[in-house]
Amino acid sequence: MKKITLFLVFIGMMTLQSCEVTELYDTVDNGPRTEVYEVTTSFNSNNNYSSLVVFDPPIYSSDSVLVYHLYDTVNGADIWKLMPQTYYLNNGGELDFNFDYSRFDVKIFLAANFNLNTLDSSWTQNQTFRIVIVPANFASTINKNNMDAVMSSLKVSKSEIQKINL
């Protein structure tokens, strides 16, 4: 009888110990980060109508990057447009706000079918962008055209947006 009791106590101890180890590993999160940055920059011929934002630390290779341009503010509400974005100007010109990214940075740049030196400063000075880093599998499940829907889906509040000064 003592041997059976000792055996049952041994089994019980092993079961409880394995539960603790499993719980420890379940709490470790090595998954991709969700981060949102806001940057205001100006474009001119000196910076080749581009701006570079460096990720520190670099993002995971599986992450996706979304970039939004603050197009306007109407009745206190910001109007964000997903990039790349083409604006058709009254003079027949086409202005593109575009970006390239890697694990280490995102380059935001302007391109046009005309000389950018002739562009009105309202398009080049103090332009604000939001850079959203999301897990790649998550990026395919959200309405990327709506900044508010993206922020809500990612559960990121405005207070969590990291401001970057260039």
CA 87: distance to chain centroid?
23
66-99: pLDDT as tens digits = 999 999 999 999 999 999 999 999 988 999 999 9
DSSP state of 15: H
Of 103, 112, 5, the residue nearest 50 (C-alpha): 112
Of 165, 166, 162, 164, the residue nearest 34 (C-alpha): 162
The kind and range of the H/E element at 165 are strand 162-165
Cβ atoms of residues 111 and 98 within 8 Å:
yes
| Mean pLDDT, all residues of the chain | 83
- Mean pLDDT throughout 42-71? 94
14-30: pLDDT as tens digits = 555 544 444 433 334 44
Confidence (pLDDT) at 161: 84
Strands in 11-150 per DSSP E: 35-41, 50-54, 63-74, 77-82, 85-88, 94-101, 105-112, 127-135
Complete domains list, the chain, with CATH: 35-165 (2.60.40)
Query: Tokens 């049952």 sit at which residue?
Result: 8
Question: Over 70: is that where the pLDDT of 46 sits?
Answer: yes
**Gap between the Cα atoms of 104 and 39, Å rounded:** 16
